[in-house]
Each structure stands twice: as structure tokens, then as C-alpha cells.
Structure 1
Amino acid sequence: IQTADDYWSWARDVLVPGLFQEQHYNGDKLGWRRKRFISDAVSYRIGAARFKQIRRYTSLFLNQECNSGNSFSDGETRDFLPGWRLLSSSNSSEDLLEQSSWIYQIPDSGGELPAMADIATYGSGGYVAGVGRNKDAALAVIADLEKADWIDRYTRTVVLEFTVYNANINFFSTMSYTVEFLNMGGAVSSRSIRTYRLHRFVGPAGYVILALHIIYVACFPYTLYREVKLMKEQGKRYCQQPWNLLEIVNILVSFSAFAVFAVDYITSRNTLDKLLHHHESSKYISFDLASFWNQVFVWTVATVAFINISKFLRLLRFNPLMSVLMTSLRRMLPEVAGFAVYFTFLFMSFVQLGHLVFGLKIQEYSTITASGKSLFLCALGIFEFDEILSTSRIIGPLFLYTYLCIVFIIIINILVAIIND
């Protein structure tokens, strides 16, 4: 997709057939219930899909048009009539303000998150056009928008959003397909798929998870009481033990998990209630907040699980072999720390070199962070040699061979020598 015509062609030929399935694989027509599934025949379409456009703010300076940049404050927020004619207060109406795809809309009570794309991050507000709930309505919406030049030279980005539910695995997925139109022509497309679970305790596995949650919550007050008692008995000596500090972190993260679970549950119920209230309408229901808090809860629970599993290592302190290993780690810590500093400077020099040499031609080296990630994967044996070779037949292989030789032959051997000593 490089132009507005390409986008509308893609919407007609790819998007609509993918969203609205009309027949089985053998050509038989689908019933009305099966038509709510997308083309994979297992994902149920939740609510309606929508287009959301973010526009550049345009003003006149010395009779010349001035286009804004990509920051949040530079976006267009004025209301328009079809054809992007500025809407004045004299020709506005309540129906127009509620239904028109030419009116700037702000999400209700912060229910949507900013849209992150390859070039920039965009605000949650924009000019919204519903796709419709069936194939004919979707094609009619696309035809009307294309005829009225809904995408024009001032369009910054267009985001397509829709949500599906797969009952076989009990997962919701929200898809966002973003096309960013550049000032100098052309476009950059990107996609985002967020998968999350709003119905947690469903089926036998769900009941087991629910029971484990209850057991953990029931045991947590005893853990809290025990640690508070130890703090009072040991005083300052309590904080001198690394395992006690880990226990404090575990308690703090557990409190965070309880709070996040409550917020996640309330947000999920509110979103599903809103969906139930508008299930017959063509209104798009955003699952942004529900998916965000679900992901935060998953991260928090993962941290709690990691800490509690790590605590089992404390039981191995009675093993003679583990005792020797821990003693060796403590003794070589100063040498390893100095080695880590040396390796960090050496690694960052290669990261900077790779970014400066290949950053303009290879996506994996376009930023410092991406360059560091690529070199880390390169040390694990994951790299695209042909892509580096096509960039420069001399500098590319020389850079790669030098980095691998220094990392594997020299640096690793130094680390092994420190451990042996």
C-alpha cells in the first residue's frame, strides 16, 4: 500500500472477504450465525470493525500551507463536512456530531490507548468510520469514503481495528492494521495483534487455576505475619540476608498482583457489559484497556511465580555440591564484575559501529537498541549473512567475522579462565 487508491483496493479485495465469510469451503452458503465468523471459520467477530484516521493540522502562514509534525499536540481536531470542508457552528447538528466520519471523536473516559506505529505514536482520538456488520454494508462504506476522498494529502495515518473471539481456546484477539502516509509520498504499514483472556476460570483447567489462586491468597497472610515477626526479632540483621530481601520483594509484588487483578476484573466486566449493551449496533467496542490490564496482570503473576520458584534454591544450600558452587560464585564475583564492565564497553562499540555502518540500509540496525538486539542474536548464531553481504561485500563480512571471533574466541575464553581460577 503506497497510495489512497491502494488502500481502498486492499480494503475491498482483502479486508472485506477476510472479515465477512459468505460460504463454506465447498461453496455452500453460510447460515446467519456462521456469517459472524471471519474467514478462518473459528474466530467469532466481536462487535464491528472501524477505520480511524489521524490527520495533520494545516494552517496558513504568509499565504502558504504549513503542515504539522507527528507529535500528539500537532494533530487535527477540528470538525468537518464531507470532502473535508471546515464545519462552522451555523451548519452543525447533534446527529452530525454523533454519526459523521468527518467529526473528530474523543474516546469516552479514556477507554482507548494511543496507537503505536513504526514512525510515530498517535493519540486515541480521530475521525472514525464504522465498517458495518455485513459485507454489503462494508462495501458501501468503503465506496462512500473513497468517493468523498476521506483519505487525502493531509491524512497522517489510518488505523483499522477489530476484535475476534476464539471459543476453542478461550482467547480474545484485537487486530490493528496501521498505514502511515508520509508527507513526501508513499506509506508505511504495520500491524499489531494483542491476544488476551477475559474469561479466566472456564472449564476444568480454569477451576484448577481458581483453586490455586485461592490457596495462594489464603497462604499469603501467614507469610506476611512470619516476615513481620522476623523483622521485629532480628532488627537490622534481617535486611543483611539476601533471601529476606527477596521475600520483601515477593510480598510487595504480591500486593501489586492483588490490586492489578481487581482492576483487570472490573475493566473486563465493564467492557463485556458494554459489548452486550451494543451487540445489535454497528458501534465499535474498544478492548484496549481490558487487554492492557490483562497483560499487566500476566506480567505481575509471572514475576510472582519467578520469585517463588527461585526461593526453592534456598533448599539446595544443604547440598555439598551446591555449597561449593555458591562459594565459587562469591569468590569470583569481583573478577566477573570487572570483566562485565570490559565486555559492556566492547559490546557497545560494536553496537555503535553496526548502527553507523548498516543503520540506513538494514532494519535490524536502524536504531541503537535494534543494533544491540541484532548483535546479541548474532552471538547466538541467529543472523542474516546474505543481507549484510548485500550491503557491503567487504565491510559487512569483515564486521561480522571480527565480532564473532572476538566474542567467541577471546571473550568467552577469558570468562572461562576467570571461572577456572
Structure 2
Amino acid sequence: ERIFSIALWGTTLTENTSNNRALFIRITLRELLVYIFFLVDICLLTYGMTSSSAYYYSTAMTNLFVNTAGASGVMFQSIGSMDDFWAFAQGPLLGGLYWTSWYNGQSLGNVNKSFIYYENVLLGVPRMRQLKIKNNSCKVANDFRDEITGCFDVYSVEKEDDRSFGLINGTAWTYHTEKELKGSSYWGLLTTYSGAGYYQDLSLNKNESATILMELEDNLWLDRGTRAVFIDFSTYNANINLFCVITLVVEFPATGGAIPSYQIRTVKLIRYVGNWDYFILGCEFLFCVFIFYYIVEEILELRIHKFSYFFSIWNILDIVVILLAIVAIIFNVFRTVKVNNLLKKLLQNPDIYADFEFLAFWQTQYNNMNAVNLFFAWIKIFKYVSFSTTMNQLSSTLGRCAKDIFGFAIMFFIVFFAYAQLGYLLFGTQVQSFSTFVTCIFTQFRIILGDFNFDAINSANRVLGPIYFVTYVFFIFFVLLNMFLAIINDTYSEVKEELSSQKDELQITDLIKQVKANEIMGHTDSEISAAFSKFDCDGNKVLDEDEQRRMKTELEEKRVCVI
């Protein structure tokens, strides 16, 4: 059982390799070989989930629904008011959603289905949803209370309007909770919105949908209390087996006007269709085997080293990779079951809203998680190539200067955040790249890399703008950044000098030479030792002159016989 454990799960942490460099390298090479197979498998899985077709699919939908202008000249990105919103909804939106005829006017043959760009079927019906704020949800200054009778605050969940309004009858005029809609929160440009609100499902027919939109506009569905409108729909392309889940959002801030944004998620929800998909299925089974293998390996290492196991960054990285892989496996099963249930429900009721937003969101997070996991998996290769002093230069340099870098980072970010606050207060009301404190932080990183708009800063404040820019570039770029590089360069020089004066205890080439030398004439170490012990009569493990003479005589006789 012990031999079996060493053969399968023996690692440099489970075997005593401190006094045997050759054994250490042998085990490391075996671990590296197994890990390379694991890395190839996880690469096939991650790259098998995506393709360039997803990008072109997203681009096609973006051009149609975001960048296409209607007869009035309004496109989604140019929406700046409620009038523009209705012009877009009754123009480019309806024109993009309902394709019932060819370019020459000939019917597509199926009036109950819309095939966008003739290739992408519209799943179910689109849905419009809005969130409103209660009147008098904010306080008006005493000086203006007589002139201003209504006050609608910025959006917050606590101030949502849940009263029926307008025509009262119908889902468009009645508030529905997030639980009733089975919705989820949405992170907009201004704030995060809940999944509740007033909603209206459109029709499978273009004319009926146009009538619905006209009724909403005529009865003032959008008003001063409206803070956000969502348009959700999904399409499916059978040619490339991809779903495109689209969310168009128009936010109406308390300042007036409108801010459009959109989210297009192209995901592969139906996993197993073609031969390549079934090949990926086989890779998924192999992936599960690898994860089981590494779980057992880490358990064995943990049993031996106890809490000291967690002192190694490589062990922590192993745990992270395994945990992310387990979550991915669980979600893969959940997603497959959920998609099958949703498609079954949609096929039975094709005129309902197809809510793929939940699945698309978690599929996107799943893809992000796999991307991060693959990144960590590649980084882990350094664990297996660090037995060489040459390979140790990077890790030794970072490890030795870690304290200096930490101390420098404190000083750097004190100055950096001081400039970020200064920039936000000076230019935040006029320059978009300084409009929020978080945006200021990213803007200052861009300035370090040479991407900046000096004219905007100068226009916002003709005196303090240039002073801010010149002093920031001087202290951050010329002083602090060069101090950071100096710390790393100085430490690297020290490490390189120390390692150059040392000789590697045993390199791979030395190991190969040793193996070849020990296998002369096809003999192993044990066979050669037995041959020498035959002539070592006194057993002192040293052949004297007589013993050497007898050995040479016998070897010469054997050589003559072979000839």
C-alpha cells in the first residue's frame, strides 16, 4: 500500500527528499508531467467553451440594436430624453426585433417567429420594465417650497414607488416585487437597481407590439418618477449553438436627461450537440479524475505537514485551483438541468417572456471563474521548475524585497490617494474622468502610462489644473516610480550575484548523465553493485590490486566469448 501511494501520489512534500537531490528531481519531473496533462485538459475545457463566433454574434446584435438609427435619427446610444426613448422604441427597436420578410419583401414563411438577420430566432417575447421613485421622496429647501411642489429623489430601493398608476389595470401599471418577477438586481452606471418594478411584455407580432408601445406613451407610462427602464430579450443561433441575452437600459437621473447603457451576453448554454462537444464532455470526465487525484494528494500532504502546510504559497494556490474546479463542476451540472427545464417551458408556451438573464449571468461568472482558474493553473508551473537556481531568481528577488516594497507601497498610496482626492475636488464637476473618486484613481494610473487629457484639466481650472498635473507627474512618475524600480533592480543584482557564485546541486542534465552512466551495457545500479561485490572478497567495498586483476581477467574472458 505504501509503494502504491508513492507511485500515484508521491510528491516532494510526502517523500523525504532533503538528502537526496536526485530523488527530488525525479519526483518533481513526474509531478510536472502529470500536471502538464492536467493543464492541457483544462485548456481544452476553457477554450472549448468559447469561440470567435461569440464575438461576431455580439457585434451583430450591438450594431442592430445600439448603433442603428431610426427615421428620426435617434439611435440607442444617442438617447438623451424620454422623447428620444419612445422614438427609439417605436423605430430601431421594433425594426430590429421583428424580421418577418426577406429584403425583397417576400415573407419568411413563419409569422409567429422572428428570425433576426434571418439566422437568430427571437426567444419568447421582449419585456419592458421600469422603476419609479415616490413623489416627495426628498426635501425641498425652504426658499423654494412655494414654487416647487414635487420632489423626486435619486434612486434607492427604500424610496421605490409601489403604487398603481395610470390605467391601473395591467402589469404595466401595477407594481411587482423582485420575488414575483423572479428577477435580480442590476448594476447600472449611476447605481444598483432592484429586480422589481412595473413591466410590460410585448407581442410576437410587430403591429401588436407597436400598439402596446403607443398605449404606454399616450398614457404617460414614463414620468418624473421614472429612474430606469429595462428592455430584455434573448435570441438563439442554431448555426453556432449560442444564446445572446440582451439588456438595454436607459437611466433617468434626478438631474434630468437620460443615460443609455447596454449589456450583451453571448453564452453557450446547450453544451452537447456536435462531435466536438462530446469530445469536451470526455475532457470534463478526465478533469474530474484529475481533481480527485489532486484532492487525495493534498490530503496526504496535509496529514504529514499539519498546519505548516498552509505556510507555502504553492499549497494555497493548489487549494484555490481545486476549490474553483469543484464549484465549476457543480455549476456545470446545475446549468445543464436549468437550461433543459427553461427550454421545455418555453417550447410549451412560446408567447411568454424567456428569462435567460439569470442563466446568462451565472454562465458569464462561470466563464470568468474558469479564466481565473486557468491563469492560476499556468502560474503553478513555476512550482515545478523552481528546483534550478536560475529559475529561483524571480522568486528569490520578490521574496527578499517584499518588505521594502510593502513599505514603499504605503508611502506611494498615501501620495497617490492624496492626489486622487485633490483631482476629484478640483475637476469632478467638469471633467468626466474625474467625476467620481474611483474614476480618479483609474485616471491617475492612466496618466502614469501616458494616457491623459491635459486640455480638459486645464479648462476646468486654469491655475490649479497645470499645478496638479506637473507636480503629480514629477512626484509619482519621476520620483516614486523610479524608487520602486530601484528597489527591485538592487535586490535582483544581489540575488543574481549570490546565485552566480553557487553551483546547482544537481541539474536535469546531471541527472540524465548519471542515469546513463549507471545503465552502461543495459545494467541498472543494483546489477552493477552485485557485479562488484562478487570480486570484493574482504567486503570492504574497495577492490585491491588482486581483486581488480581477477575482475579484469573475467571481463576479458567474457569479451572474447562475445566476440
Aligned alpha-carbon RMSD (Å): 3.0
Q: Does 1:178 align with 2:225?
A: no
Task: Out of 266-275 and 327-336, give the one that drifted further.
Answer: 266-275
Distance 1:67 1:239, change over 3 A: closer
Residue in structure 2 matching 1:294, options 363, 366, 370: 363
2:123–2:233: 8 Å Cα contact kept in structure 1?
A: yes
2:132 corresponds to which residue?
A: 55
Q: What aligned pairs does 1:227-246 form with structure 2 within 5 A after superposition? A: 227-246=298-317
Aligned partners of 2:338, 2:453: CA distance in 1, in Å? 43
Partner of 1:5: 83
Amino acid at match of 2:242: F
Query: Alignment partner of 1:194: what SS?
Result: strand
Alignment of 1:344 onto 2:413: yes
1:357-384 CA distances to partner (integer Å, 9 max, x unpaired)?
A: 2211122222121111122223223334
Pick one of 108, 127, 130 that aligns with 1:31: 108
After superposition, give the CA deviation of every residue in 1:292-319 in whole Å (9 maximum; x if it has no partner). Answer: 2212322332233222222211121123
Please state how far the C-alpha of 1:418 moved relative to its aligned partner: 1.5
**Distance apart, 1:387 and its partner CA:** 3.5
Report what 2:345 is aligned to.
274
Q: Deviation of residue 334 (structure 1)?
A: 1.7
Q: Partner letter of residue 233 of structure 1?
A: I
Which position in structure 2 is the counterpart of 1:127?
198
| Deviations 1:333-377, CA, capped at 9 Å, x for gaps | 221221122112122122212211221112222212111112222
Aligned partners of 1:28 and 1:363: how far apart in 2? 46
Q: Which region of structure 1 is more displaced relative to structure 2, 399-408 or 218-227?
A: 399-408
Alignment counterpart, residue 375 of structure 2, candidates 306, 317, 327: 306
1:202–1:420 Cα change, 3 Å: same
CA shift for structure 1 position 161: 1.6
Partner residue, 1:71? 156
Partner residue, 2:99: 21
SS at match of 2:269: coil
Code of the residue aligned with 2:375 in structure 1: it is F
- Specify the code of the residue in structure 1 equivalent to 2:123: I
2:262 corresponds to? 191
**Is 1:322 matched up with 2:322?**
no
Deviation at 1:330, TM superposition (A): 2.1
TM-score by length of 1: 0.85
Task: Give the distance between the partners of 2:200 and 2:488, measured in 1 at CA.
Answer: 63
Tell me the distance in 1 between the aligned counterparts of 2:367 and 2:288: 16
Q: Which residues of structure 2 form unaligned runs of 5+?
A: 1-78, 140-144, 491-563
Determine helix, strand or coil for the equivalent of 1:320. coil
What letter matches 2:88 in structure 1?
W
Q: Deviations over 1:114-164 (max 9, x none)?
A: 233223322212221122222211211111222222223333322222212
Choose between structure 1 and 2: higher strand proportion: 1
After the TM superposition, which residues 330-369 of structure 1 pair with which residues of structure 2 at under 5 Å, given as runs? 330-369=399-438
Deviations 1:195-219 (A, max 9, x none): 3221233434433432222111012
Residue in structure 1 matched with residue 234 of structure 2 by the alignment: 163
Q: Which amino acid aligns with 1:246?
A: L
For 2:335 and 2:180, the matched residues in 1 are separated by 16
Amino acid at match of 1:48: V
| TM-score, with length taken from structure 2 | 0.65
Q: Which amino acid aligns with 1:373?
A: F
Q: Deviations over 1:204-256 (max 9, x none)?
A: 44334322221110122221112212222233432333322222233333332
Query: d(CA) in 1 for partners of 2:162 and 2:134?
Result: 8
Instruction: Provide the secondary structure at the position in 2 that maps to 1:49.
Output: strand
Native 8 Å contact 1:263 1:293 kept in 2: no
CA shift, 1:386, in A, is: 4.2
Give the 3 Å change call, closer, same or farther, for CA 168–246 of structure 1 in structure 2: same
What corresponds to 1:91 in structure 2?
Answer: none
Q: Which amino acid aligns with 2:163?
A: R
Change (3 A) 1:416 1:158: closer
Q: Which residue of 2 aligns with 1:88?
A: none
- Whether the aligned pair in 2 keeps the contact of 1:68 and 1:75 (CA below 8 Å) is no
* Structure 1 residue 193: Cα displacement: 2.3
CA distance in 1, matches of 2:452, 2:476: 15
Matches of 1:23 and 1:110 in 2, distance apart?
A: 33
Identify the range of structure 1 (349-358 vs 252-261) with the bigger mean alpha-carbon deviation: 252-261
Counting matched residue pairs gives 403
SS in 2 for 1:46: strand
Q: Secondary structure at the match of 1:200?
A: coil
Give the secondary structure class of the aligned counterpart of 1:105: coil
| Matched residue, 1:154 | 225
* Paired residues of 1:106 and 1:126 also in contact (CA < 8 A): yes
Change (3 A) 1:185 1:349: closer
Question: Which residue identity lines up with residue 172 of structure 1 in the other structure?
Answer: F
Label 1:3 to 1:416 Cα distance change in 2 as closer, same or farther (>3 A). closer
Please report how far the alpha carbon of residue 18 of structure 1 lies from its aligned counterpart in structure 2 after TM superposition.
Answer: 2.0
Does the residue aligned with 1:159 lie in a helix, a strand or coil? Answer: strand
In 1: Cα distance, 2:180 partner to 2:280 partner: 32
Supply the distance in 2 between the matched residues of 1:375 and 1:166 (Cα, whole angstroms).
Answer: 42
Does structure 2 conserve the Cα–Cα contact (< 8 Å) formed by 1:260 and 1:296?
no
Summarize the Cα distance change of 1:115–1:242 in structure 2 as closer, same or farther, 3 Å threshold: closer
